[in-house]
C-alpha cells in the first residue's frame, strides 16, 4: 500500500506562503512546524513573528501568534514567558530584526537567561524592505545601501551573533545551521528541536541561527542562492554548536552584600 | 487631453518599468505626467500595479480611481480593476495570460497576445513593451518617438541591443492593434 | 511505486528540488501555473526512490512524497 | 477600608496598581518615578507577580505588549525621555487593541531637561506621541489618594475597551507624601473574567493572533475606523472632571494635576478677597471634558488655563470654548511651579482687563 | 535652471537635500522611504559626504545630534514607527538648539500598520511626539518638485533659528514620479558662514558645550522661555500657505500634501459644476497659517478639512476658526486615499446642509 | 627649590566636581584630563558626557563637550567623528548608559570600527538614579530594584562588556582596569592613553572599562568601597587587555558579488 | 490653623526624614498634612530641602512658596530662603552651623545650637530632631506625643535605642527654646 | 621638605588618601569645612616623601604635592 512518507506538518497552517521563490524562510517555517508537532507542543506554543519578510509568519504557524515591533521579539517573548511559564515561546527573527535594531533586546534576553527559543534567520540582507545592508552582510557584498559593496571602513564588519552571545553566562543552547542542502536541513531540524527541548526542560535561553537564502535581494537565482550560502556564508559564519547545556556549569551565587558587611 | 491609466499584473512582468516609460514618454512629448506605483512589501510574486496620468493640463491628483485605460497583464488584475474603468474607457488585455472575459459592455475592449508576440521575438520579458505599443497606438496619448527616446532614460544601464529589442516590441504592439 | 506530488499552487519554480534530487527525477514544467510560476514536475518518475530529499529543501512545502 | 497611610505618590501609584490586580511590571529607572519600580521590585514577588527591570524603556514597553497579550494586568512607568522612547510601542499596543496601564511622572523637558515637576507632556499623552491615529485614556490625579486609586479605574477601562490607559502625573505628586485611603477592594486577578482574545493554551479552541498590521489594501482603514468607534464611545461615556464653585464664578480656572491644586489655592485666596473664581479640573485629559467647558463658557466669559508648560491644555480648552469666551493662559514650563499667590495676581489682572 | 527630470519623490527629497548642502545622513530602512537612504548611499560619497546606515532609528537620530553639533547640514528620514522611535532624540535636539532636517514619509498606522500613504502623524509632527515643550518647523510638500526644493528652505530656517525642521510627506508623494526642476543653486556647505556654537577645534576660543539640560532650579525654565520667544518669532514670520480660488469661495477646503492635490481635483471638478470651492493649503504645518484661515472664516462659513487620518489637521483649523465658521472633516485613516470625486460628494452634502 | 610634583591637570576645568565622597568618577576624570594634556589634544578633543552621575562631565573636562540622550554616546560620537575626523572623540559612560539602554549603540559603534574612544565606568550600579541594578551588578548584590540580592533567575547575569566586544572584528583596543589603588590608577592611565593613541593613529575603535567605586549606592563607606572593588568586582571582571592592535590581522575584503557572478 | 514649613540644609543632615516626621506627627495629631521633598540628583552632598504643610483644613497646594516657618540647618540655606519667609513668620536657625545673621526684622528669629546639643547626646546625627523639637515647642503645630508616636513609623527598621535617642533629642530641642 | 596641600573646598573626606599613603602622613580633620565635609590634613607632615600616591587616588583632585 502506498504510504505518505513526507507530508505537510500540522505545525503549519494551510495558508500559501508569500515568500519569494527559493527563499529559505519556508524551509525554516516547516522545520519549526514539524518540531512543534513532534514535541506535541503546538497547542501550548506562542510564536512571535518579526518585522521582516516573515512578518507573515503569524499566518503560517499553527499556534497562537503575536506580531510586535521591529526588533523587539525577545522583549515580547520575555513578557509572554514570564506571564505564561507553562507555554513554549519562540521568537522568529531576521538578521536586521535581531542583530541591528533589536541587538540590545537580544543580548539582554540572553543575559537574563529567559526560557525562550529564538529562531534567527540570517540571510545577510534586509529582505522585506528591498535589499539593504544587514548587520550580517558580508564584506564586499552589494546591497541597495552599499551599492559599491560593503566597505568596512564605512559600514563596519558583519556581526557573528552566536559567537557574541556565547560570551554570556546564561544561554543554554546556541547553534548555527543552514538550510541550503538536504543534509543541512536535517541538522537544522535537530538543532531547532534541541533548542525547544532546552526550553521545555527549563534549562535556559536557546537560539538557533539559520543561514538562509534570499535570492531576490542577492539578485541571483535560487540555485545561485544556495551556492552563495555554501561558498560565501558558511566560511564566514561557521556552522556548529556554540553553547550546549552539557558544557554549562552550575551557577554559583556569590553574596557580595555579606562581603560588604565584613569589610 | 487627460489620460488616467492603470497597469496591473504579476510582480516580475515589468509593470512598473512600463508605467515609468509611459510617464517619461508623456513628459518627452511635452505633457504633464505623474506616475504612482502601488508599491507593496518588496517580495517577489503577488500582484503589481501602477497609475499613470498624462495630461495637457497641470495634474491635480495623481490618484487614478477611475482609469481611462486599464492595461491588464494577468487574470487577477481583470477581476480587481475591471469595474473601475471609466465608461467609454479602454480595457487592454494581454490575452496570452488572461483567459477570462470582461463583463463590462460600456468600455472598449482590446485583446493582445502579448506573450506570444514577445516570445516570438525571443523573450516574454518584453510583453510589457508590446502592451505599451498597443496603448500608444490606440489612445494616441503618447508618441512612438517619445517612447523610443525615453527607453534609454528609463533603462540607463541597459545595453543597446536590449533597447533596440524593446523598441521593436513597442512597434510590434502598435502593429498588433 | 515511489513518487512525489507537487502542489502547483504552492510551487514557485525555484528548482531547489531539481538539484536536490540525486536521481534527477524532477524537472520544470514549460507551462506556468495560475500563479505565474513554472512548477516542478517529475520528468523521470520511474527513478524516484521516495528519499524525500526534494521535499526537505522545498521552501514552499509544495512536495509530498509517497512510497 | 484601610487605615490612613502616609505615602509617597509614587508608592501609592505602585501599591494601587498591585491592589488593582497588576501582576507584571517592566520598567527602566528614571527620576522622578524611581519609587515605582523600587516598590514593585519587592511588592510584586510578594503577590506572585513579576517585576523586571528592563534593559531600556523600549524593551519595557514591548515586554508589556507580550505580557498583556496573555491577558495579564500589566504596568510600566517612566518620565519624559523614557515615555518618548515608548511611543512606538504604545502605538503598536493601540493598534493591537491591548489593554495596558502606564504612568508618566512628568519632569522638566525638552531633552534631558531637569527632574523638577512639570506638565510639558500633555500633548504627547493626549495627541499620541506615536505614529498613526490612536488614543490613550489619560487620567490626571491631583493627590496621593488619587495616585493610589486611579490605577484601578485605568485597568477597568483598559479591559472594557481593550485600550491603553495611563496616569499622567508629575514629580511633585510622585514625590510628595499625603495621607491616603484606598477606595476599592483589592482585586484578585485570578478571579477576573477570562479574556477571549488572550494568547496562551490553544487546546480546544482556534489559534489566536495578535497584531497591529494589515497589509491588504483597505483592511487597515477598516481596523482604524473600528478604533474610531471605540474612541467615540469612550468620549461619550468616560469623561471625568471636578467642578469647584463654578456656579457663581466670573472667572473659570482650568487646570489638572498639580496645577489644579495650586489653582485651588488661588481660588481660596481669591474667594477670601471676594473674587468669584471657579475651577474646572479635568480628571480625564482624554476623553476631555469639552462639553462642560463649552457649557460653562456660555456664561463665564473669562477662562484661565493654568499649566506647568508653555501651553498645551489650553488648546483643548480653546477647542471646547470655540470662541465663546476669552481663554487666557498662565504657563510655567520646564520645572517652574506657580504658586497660588502668583495665579491670583494673574486672575486680578484678567479681571481688570 | 536644470533640465526637467522625472524623479521619484523620495529621490527628489534626497537630491534636494544634497543640493541644499546636506553632507551627513544616518537612517534606518523603512518602507515607503527606502529610496532616500538608497539614493544617498551613493550620492553623498560623491560629494564627499557621509552616509551611515544606522543600527536603528534611535541610533540614527543620535548620530544626527552629534553631527549637527559640529555644524554640518544633516538629515535623517523614516516613516511612522521609526519617527516614533526618534522622538526622544528630537526632543533633545530641540532642547539643545541644534539645526537638523528630517523627513517623515508617512504610512498607515498605528502600529506596524501598512505601507500605504497616510497622514496620521500630523499630531506627532506638529505637537511634538516627544516630551516637553518644543516645536519643529514642519513643511508639507504636495509635489515631487516641492519634495526636492523644500529641504533647502528647511536647512536655511534650521540654521537661522537653530531648530529642528522636517518635511512631513507620505508614501504617495515619496513613491510617485513627476517632472521636477530645482529652484535654487546648489549650496556648497564649505561656504556657509561659520557657526559660532559648533563643536570642533577649540584652539584660540573658549571651549563649547552643547546640552539640553540644566539641573539648577529655575534655569531650565528660563531656557525654555527663550525657546518660546524663538517659536513666537517663527510663528510671526515663517508661515507659508497656498490659497486657490478663495476669493469667491462659498466653501473652503483645507488640506495639505497629498490630500491637497486630491482636494484640488475636487475643486476643479466642482468648479466645472459651478460650485464655488476654494482651497487653503498650509505649506508650513507649524507654524500654522491660522491667521489666513481665521480671516477667511469671517466670510466663508463652511470649511471642510480633507485629510488622510481620523482628523488631526482639523484641530488646527478649528483653533484658527474659533467658532466663526462651521468646520467639517473628511478623514480617511490608515492608508485610505480619497478621490476627487469622493471629496466632491462630501462638498455637495455640506452645501445642501 | 620646591617643585609641584603633582598638580591639577589643565585637561580639567576648575569647577568643583559634584560626585559623592570616594566615588571613582573623579579619578577617571583626572586620568582622562591628564592624558588629553599629555597628548596635547585637549583643544581638538570633543567629549561626550553620558546620562548618569557623570552627566556633569560636560562641566569638568576642559574640551568641547556635548551631552546627549541616555545610552546614545556611541551614536553621537559616530556622528561627530564622521563629520570631524580631525578631532579626537571620546564618550564617557556608566554601565547603565553603556551596557543596558545603550547596548545596541555600543556594539554597533564597535562593529563599525568607529575611530572613537569609550571610557566606560563600571560601578555595578545606577548611581544617579539612586542605586538600581545595573547590567554589571553582581549576583547576590542588593540594589534598590533587587532588594533581596540579584537573583539570576529573575534578573539575569551580569554582562562582561570587554569579553563581549572582543568577539567583534573591528575593535582595536579593549582593556579593563580599576582605580581603587594607586598601582591600578597608574595602569588605568596607561590604558586610557593607549586607547586615545589608537584613535589618533586611526587604528580603530577603543574602549577602556574602569571598575569604579560607588560607595553611596553600595551603601558602604569609601574605604569599604575600594575593598569591594578588590574582593568582589575584580574576581568577576578580570583586569587586563582584551584586544590590542598588535593581535589584529589585516582585514581581507572578500567580494561575494564576484563569486555570485561565477556561480 | 495652617503652617507651611520649609526645612533646608546639607544632604546627609536628615532634612528629609525630619520633614516626613513632621508630616506624620501632624497626621497623627489629626491634621491634614503634605510633605514634598526638593529631590535632586541622588548623589550625596549638595543641599537638601523639603516643604511640609500642616493644616486643620484640607490642603490645596502642597507648594510652600512663603513659609510660615523656615528651619535652617546650614549657611547656604539661610541665604536661599530667608527672603521667602512670611512676615511675622519664624526663622529657626541651627546656629552651630550657621554663622551669618538674617537681615529680616519682620520675622521671629530663634537660634539653636543643635549640633552642640546633639553632640553632647553622642551624635550630631540627631541635630535634626533637636530642631524639630524646638519647632514643635515654638509653634505648637504638632504635639510631642504625635512626634513620638510617629518616630517608629518613619523609621520602621530602627532599633528601640535609636528611637529613644531621637525622642530624647526632640525633648532637648523643646527645652532649648 | 615634601608636602601635600589639600584643597578643603574640594576635599570630601573620603579617606582614600589616608589608606593610600604608605607612611600614614594623612589623617582627617575634626572640623568640617564650609562644604559640610571633614577634610584630610597632614597629621605626620615630617614623614611625607612626596610620592604622590595620595594624589593618585584622590577622586576630587584635591591634593597637590610639592617636593
Ligand atoms: C521601527 C521600524 N524600523 C524599520 C522598519 C522597516 N523594516 C521592515 S522589515 C525590516 C528589515 C527586514 O530585514 P530582516 O530582519 O533581515 O528580515 P528579512 O526580511 O530579511 O527576513 C525593516 C528595516 C519597521 N517596520 N519598523
Ligand atoms: C531615556 C532615559 N532613561 C532613563 C533615564 C534615567 N537615568 C539617568 S542616569 C541613569 C543610569 C545611571 O547609571 P550608570 O549609567 O550606571 O551611571 P552612574 O550614574 O552609575 O555613573 C538612568 C537610568 C534617563 N535620563 N533617560
Ligand atoms: S525578499 Fe528574500 S527573505 Fe524575503 S521572501 Fe524574498 S527571498 Fe525571502
Ligand atoms: S523546491 Fe518546491 S517550490 Fe521549488 S521548484 Fe521544487 S517543488 Fe517548486
Ligand atoms: S552615586 Fe555613586 S557613581 Fe554617582 S557620584 Fe555618588 S558615588 Fe559616584
Ligand atoms: S582622597 Fe581627596 S577627597 Fe578623599 S579625603 Fe583625601 S584629599 Fe579628601
Domains of chain F: 25-247 (3.40.50.970)
Q: Which of D56, D89, D211 comes nearest A58 by C-beta?
A: D211
Please answer yes or no on whether D6 and G61 come within 8 Å at the CB atom. Answer: no
Low-confidence ranges of chain F (pLDDT < 70): 247-263
Residue of D nearest to E109 (CA): D132
Ligand 1 mean position, distance from CA D260 (Å): 45
Q: Which positions in chain E touch G41 (Cβ < 8 Å)?
A: 215
Asked if D255 and D290 count as a contact pair (C-beta separation under 8 A), the reply is no
What lies within 8 Å, CB to CB, of A220 at 6+ separation is A228, F260, F263
**CATH code of the domain in which C61 resides:** 3.30.70.20
Q: Which of A67, A101, A128 comes nearest E56 by C-beta?
A: A101
> Residue F91: CB within 6 Å of ligand 2?
no
- Closest protein CA for atom 6 of ligand 4: C17
* Other CB atoms within 10 A of residue E302 CB: 18
- Closest protein CA for atom 8 of ligand 6: H11
What lies within 8 Å, CB to CB, of E299 at 6+ separation is none
Q: Which atom of ligand 3 lies at the shortest distance from residue A22's CA?
A: 7
Exposed, middle or buried, B155 (CB in 10 Å: 0-12/13-18/19+)? middle
Q: For residue G144, name the pLDDT band (cuts at 50, 70, 90).
A: very high
* Other CB atoms within 10 A of residue A258 CB: 12
pLDDT score of G45: 64
Residue of E nearest to F42 (CA): E202
Asked if E153 and E238 count as a contact pair (C-beta separation under 8 A), the reply is no
Q: CA separation (Å) from D95 to A68, D98, D349, E32? A: 10, 8, 46, 19
Please answer yes or no on whether F100 and D56 come within 8 Å at the CB atom. Answer: yes
pLDDT tens, residue by residue, H8-47: 999 999 999 999 999 999 999 988 887 878 999 999 999 9
Backbone dihedral angles phi then psi of residue D219, each to the nearest 5 degrees: -70, -40
CA angle E230/E233/E237 to nearest 5° reads 140
Sheet with D24-27, edge to edge strand ranges: D50-53, D24-27, D74-78, D100-106, D164-170, D137-139, D284-286
* Continuous segment of H or E residues that includes residue A223: helix A222-228
pLDDT score of E215: 87
pLDDT score of C32: 80
Q: Which positions in chain C touch A186 (Cβ < 8 Å)?
A: 56
Q: Which three cell numbers stand for residue A237?
A: 559564519
**E85: closest CA of chain A, how far (Å):** 11
Q: Is the pLDDT of residue E106 over 70?
A: yes
Q: Which of B47-56, D268-277, F99-108 has the lowest mean pLDDT?
A: B47-56
Q: For residue A249, name the pLDDT band (cuts at 50, 70, 90).
A: low
pLDDT score of E222: 97
Q: Which atom of ligand 4 lies at the shortest distance from residue C7's CA?
A: 7
Please answer yes or no on whether F20 and G46 come within 8 Å at the CB atom. Answer: no
Q: Tell me E174's DSSP state.
A: H
> Residue A29: CB within 6 Å of ligand 3?
no
Residue of H nearest to G44 (CA): H12
Asked if D253 and D267 count as a contact pair (C-beta separation under 8 A), the reply is yes
Q: Which of D23, D66, D92 comes nearest A80 by C-beta?
A: D66
- Closest protein CA for atom 5 of ligand 3: A19
Mean pLDDT of chain D: 97
Touching chains, F (3+ CB pairs < 8 A): A, D, E, G, H
- Site to substitute for ligand 5 among F17, F98, F214, most atoms within 8 A of C-beta: F214
Q: Which positions in chain G touch F128 (Cβ < 8 Å)?
A: 41-43
Region A43-71: mean pLDDT is: 98
d(CA G135, CA B120) in angstroms, rounded, equals 105
Under DSSP, is residue A184 helix (H, G, I), strand (E, B) or coil? helix
pLDDT score of F187: 98
Q: Tell me E138's DSSP state.
A: E
Asked if F238 and F176 count as a contact pair (C-beta separation under 8 A), the reply is yes
Q: Which three cell numbers stand for residue E174?
A: 515619496
| Domain E241-352 top-level CATH class | alpha beta
Q: For residue E2, name the pLDDT band (cuts at 50, 70, 90).
A: very low
Of the candidates G53, G54, G55, the one whose C-alpha atom is nearest the C-alpha of residue G63 is G53
Mean pLDDT of chain A: 94
Asked if A178 and A211 count as a contact pair (C-beta separation under 8 A), the reply is yes
Q: Which positions in chain B touch A129 (Cβ < 8 Å)?
A: 42
* Domain covering G2-175, topology: Pyruvate-ferredoxin Oxidoreductase; domain 3 (3.40.920)
Q: How many domains does the structure of chain C reveal?
A: 1
The sign one gets for the Cα dihedral F218, F221, F227, F230 is positive
Q: For residue D263, name the pLDDT band (cuts at 50, 70, 90).
A: very high
> Residue C7: CB within 6 Å of ligand 4?
no
Q: Which positions in chain A touch C61 (Cβ < 8 Å)?
A: 8-9, 12, 17, 26, 29-30
Which of F59, F126, F129 to mutate: most D Cβ within 10 Å? F129
Please answer yes or no on whether F84 and E199 come within 8 Å at the CB atom. Answer: yes
Ligand approaching nearest to the C-alpha of F130: 5
Chain F (240-259) residues lying within 8 Å, Cβ to Cβ, of chain A:
251-257, 259
pLDDT tens, residue by residue, A130-186: 999 999 999 999 999 999 999 999 999 999 999 999 999 999 999 999 999 999 999
Which of B41, B46, B48 to mutate: most A Cβ within 10 Å? B41
- Closest protein CA for atom 1 of ligand 1: E82
Q: Which positions in chain E touch A132 (Cβ < 8 Å)?
A: 29, 34, 37-38, 53
Region A14-41: mean pLDDT is: 97
Q: Is the pLDDT of residue E1 over 60?
A: no
Please answer yes or no on whether H12 and G45 come within 8 Å at the CB atom. Answer: yes
Q: Which atom of ligand 3 lies at the shortest distance from residue A121's CA?
A: 3
Please check whether residue H15 touches F, CB under 8 A: yes
Under DSSP, is residue F100 helix (H, G, I), strand (E, B) or coil? helix
Q: Is the pLDDT of residue A74 over 90?
A: yes
pLDDT tens, residue by residue, A85-126: 999 999 999 999 999 999 999 999 999 999 999 999 999 999
Please check whether residue G10 touches D, CB under 8 A: no
Domain ranges of chain D: 5-201+225-237, 241-352
Ligand 4 mean position, distance from CA B40 (Å): 24
Residue of A nearest to F167 (CA): A164
d(CA E109, CA E336) in angstroms, rounded, equals 11
pLDDT tens, residue by residue, G8-18: 998 788 999 99
Q: For residue D2, name the pLDDT band (cuts at 50, 70, 90).
A: very low
- Closest protein CA for atom 4 of ligand 2: D30
Please check whether residue C60 touches A, CB under 8 A: yes
Region E161-183: mean pLDDT is: 97
Of the candidates E2, E3, E226, E204, the one whose C-alpha atom is nearest the C-alpha of residue E94 is E226
pLDDT tens, residue by residue, D183-237: 999 999 999 999 999 999 999 999 999 999 998 889 999 999 999 999 999 999 9
Q: CA separation (Å) from D211 to A57, D66, D195, E112, E256? A: 11, 11, 16, 8, 30
Q: Which positions in chain A touch C66 (Cβ < 8 Å)?
A: 2-5
**B43: closest CA of chain D, how far (Å):** 13
- Closest protein CA for atom 3 of ligand 4: C11
Q: For residue C34, name the pLDDT band (cuts at 50, 70, 90).
A: confident
Share of chain A above pLDDT 70, in %: 94
d(CA A95, CA F225) in angstroms, rounded, equals 42
Please answer yes or no on whether C16 and A16 come within 8 Å at the CB atom. Answer: no
Residue of G nearest to F132 (CA): G42
Asked if H42 and H26 count as a contact pair (C-beta separation under 8 A), the reply is yes
**A198: closest CA of chain B, how far (Å):** 34
Under DSSP, is residue B111 helix (H, G, I), strand (E, B) or coil? strand
Domain that holds residue C40: 3-66
> Residue C6: CB within 6 Å of ligand 4?
yes
Strands D177-180 and D5-8: antiparallel
pLDDT tens, residue by residue, D69-119: 999 999 999 999 999 999 999 999 999 999 999 999 999 999 999 999 999
Q: Which three cell numbers stand for residue D272?
A: 477670601
d(CA B92, CA B71) in angstroms, rounded, equals 5
pLDDT score of F263: 43
d(CA E341, CA D191) in angstroms, rounded, equals 54
Q: Select the more confidently predicted residue: D329 or D2.
A: D329
Q: Is the pLDDT of residue G41 over 90?
A: no
Under DSSP, is residue B167 helix (H, G, I), strand (E, B) or coil? helix
Q: Is the pLDDT of residue E330 over 60?
A: yes
* Domain covering D5-201+225-237, topology: Rossmann fold (3.40.50)
Ligand 2 mean position, distance from CA F19 (Å): 15
pLDDT tens, residue by residue, B74-109: 988 999 999 999 999 999 999 999 989 999 999 999
Amino acid at each position: 500500500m502506498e504510504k505518505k512518507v513526507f507530508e505537510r506538518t500540522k505545525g503549519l497552517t494551510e495558508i500559501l506562503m508569500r515568500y519569494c521563490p527559493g527563499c529559505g524562510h519556508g524551509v525554516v517555517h516547516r522545520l519549526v512546524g514539524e518540531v512543534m508537532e513532534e514535541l506535541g507542543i503546538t497547542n501550548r506554543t506562542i510564536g512571535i513573528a518579526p518585522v521582516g519578510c516573515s512578518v507573515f509568519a503569524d499566518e503560517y504557524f499553527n499556534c497562537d501568534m503575536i506580531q510586535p515591533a521591529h526588533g523587539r521579539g525577545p522583549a515580547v517573548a520575555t513578557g509572554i514567558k514570564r506571564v505564561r511559564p507553562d507555554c513554549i515561546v519562540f521568537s522568529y527573527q531576521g538578521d536586521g530584526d535581531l542583530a541591528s535594531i533589536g541587538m540590545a533586546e537580544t543580548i539582554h534576553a540572553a543575559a537574563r537567561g529567559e526560557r525562550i527559543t529564538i529562531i534567527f534567520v540570517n540571510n545577510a540582507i534586509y529582505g522585506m524592505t528591498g535589499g539593504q545592508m544587514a548587520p550580517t552582510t558580508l564584506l564586499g557584498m552589494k546591497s541597495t545601501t552599499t551599492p559599491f559593496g560593503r566597505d568596512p571602513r564605512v559600514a563596519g564588519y558583519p556581526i557573528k551573533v552566536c559567537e557574541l552571545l556565547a560570551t554570556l553566562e546564561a544561554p543554554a543552547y546556541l547553534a548555527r545551521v543552514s538550510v541550503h542542502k538536504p543534509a543541512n536541513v536535517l541538522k537544522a531540524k535537530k538543532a531547532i528541536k534541541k533548542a525547544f527541548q532546552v526550553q521545555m526542560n527549563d534549562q535556559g535561553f536557546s537560539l538557533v541561527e539559520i543561514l538562509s537564502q534570499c535570492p531576490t535581494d542577492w539578485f541571483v537565482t535560487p540555485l545561485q542562492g544556495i551556492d552563495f550560502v555554501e561558498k560565501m556564508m558558511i566560511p564566514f559564519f561557521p556552522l556548529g554548536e556554540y553553547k550546549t547545556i552539557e558544557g554549562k556549569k552550575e551557577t554559583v551565587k556569590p553574596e557580595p552584600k555579606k562581603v560588604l558587611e565584613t569589610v | 487631453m487627460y489620460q488616467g491609466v492603470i497597469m496591473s499584473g504579476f510582480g516580475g512582468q515589468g509593470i512598473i518599468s512600463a508605467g515609468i516609460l509611459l510617464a517619461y514618454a508623456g513628459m518627452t512629448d511635452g505633457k504633464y505626467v505623474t506616475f504612482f506605483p502601488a508599491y507593496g512589501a518588496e517580495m517577489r510574486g503577488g500582484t503589481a500595479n501602477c497609475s499613470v496620468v498624462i495630461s495637457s493640463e497641470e495634474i491635480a491628483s495623481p490618484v487614478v480611481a477611475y482609469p481611462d485605460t486599464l492595461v491588464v497583464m494577468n487574470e487577477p488584475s481583470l477581476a480587481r480593476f475591471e469595474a473601475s474603468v471609466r465608461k467609454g474607457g479602454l480595457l487592454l488585455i494581454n490575452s496570452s495570460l488572461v483567459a477570462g472575459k470582461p463583463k463590462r459592455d460600456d468600455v472598449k475592449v482590446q485583446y493582445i497576445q502579448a506573450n506570444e508576440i514577445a516570445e516570438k521575438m525571443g523573450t516574454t520579458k518584453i510583453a510589457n513593451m508590446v502592451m505599451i505599443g498597443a496603448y500608444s497606438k490606440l489612445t494616441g496619448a503618447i508618441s512612438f518617438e517619445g517612447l523610443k527616446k525615453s527607453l534609454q532614460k528609463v533603462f540607463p544601464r541597459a545595453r543597446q541591443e536590449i533597447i533596440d529589442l524593446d523598441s521593436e516590441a513597442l512597434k510590434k504592439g502598435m502593429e498588433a492593434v | 511505486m515511489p513518487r512525489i506530488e507537487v502542489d502547483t499552487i504552492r510551487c514557485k519554480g525555484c528548482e531547489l528540488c531539481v538539484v536536490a534530487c540525486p536521481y534527477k527525477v524532477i524537472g520544470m514544467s514549460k507551462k506556468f501555473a495560475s500563479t505565474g510560476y513554472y512548477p516542478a514536475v517529475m520528468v523521470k518518475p520511474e527513478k524516484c526512490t521516495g528519499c524525500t530529499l526534494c521535499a526537505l529543501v522545498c521552501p514552499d512545502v509544495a512536495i509530498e512524497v509517497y512510497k | 477600608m484601610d487605615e490612613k497611610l502616609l505615602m509617597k505618590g509614587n508608592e501609592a501609584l505602585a501599591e494601587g496598581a498591585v491592589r488593582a490586580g497588576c501582576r507584571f511590571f517592566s520598567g527602566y529607572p528614571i527620576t522622578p518615578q524611581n519609587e515605582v519600580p523600587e516598590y514593585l521590585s519587592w511588592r510584586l514577588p510578594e503577590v506572585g507577580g513579576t517585576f523586571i527591570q528592563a534593559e531600556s524603556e523600549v524593551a519595557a514597553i514591548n515586554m508589556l505588549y507580550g505580557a498583556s497579550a496573555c491577558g495579564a494586568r500589566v504596568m510600566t512607568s517612566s518620565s519624559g525621555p523614557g515615555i518618548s522612547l515608548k511611543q512606538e510601542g504604545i502605538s503598536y499596543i493601540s493598534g493591537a487593541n491591548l489593554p495596558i496601564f502606564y504612568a508618566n511622572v512628568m519632569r522638566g523637558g525638552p531633552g534631558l531637561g531637569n527632574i523638577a515637576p512639570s506638565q510639558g507632556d500633555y500633548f504627547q499623552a493626549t495627541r499620541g506621541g506615536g505614529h498613526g491615529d490612536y488614543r490613550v485614556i489619560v487620567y490626571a490625579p491631583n493627590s496621593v489618594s488619587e495616585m493610589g486609586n486611579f490605577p484601578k479605574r485605568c485597568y477597568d477601562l483598559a479591559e472594557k475597551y481593550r485600550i491603553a490607559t495611563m496616569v499622567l502625573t508629575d514629580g511633585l505628586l510622585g514625590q510628595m507624601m499625603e495621607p491616603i485611603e484606598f477606595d476599592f477592594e483589592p482585586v484578585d486577578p485570578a478571579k477576573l473574567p477570562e479574556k477571549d482574545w488572550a494568547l496562551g493554551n490553544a487546546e480546544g479552541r482556534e489559534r489566536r493572533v495578535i497584531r497591529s498590521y494589515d497589509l491588504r489594501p483597505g483592511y487597515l482603514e477598516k481596523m482604524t475606523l473600528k478604533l474610531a468607534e471605540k474612541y467615540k464611545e469612550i468620549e461619550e461615556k468616560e469623561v471625568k472632571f471636578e467642578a469647584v464653585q463654578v456656579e457663581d464664578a466670573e472667572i473659570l480656572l482650568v487646570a489638572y494635576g498639580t496645577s489644579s491644586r495650586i489653582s485651588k489655592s488661588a481660588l481660596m485666596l481669591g474667594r477670601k478677597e471676594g473674587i468669584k473664581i471657579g475651577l474646572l479640573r479635568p480628571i480625564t485629559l482624554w476623553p476631555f471634558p469639552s462639553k462642560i467647558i463649552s457649557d460653562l463658557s456660555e456664561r463665564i466669559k473669562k477662562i484661565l488655563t493654568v499649566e506647568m508648560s508653555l501651553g498645551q491644555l489650553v488648546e483643548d480648552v480653546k477647542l471646547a470654548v470655540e470662541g465663546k469666551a476669552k481663554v487666557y493662559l498662565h504657563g510655567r514650563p520646564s520645572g517652574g511651579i506657580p504658586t497660588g499667590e502668583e495665579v491670583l495676581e494673574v486672575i486680578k489682572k484678567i479681571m481688570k482687563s
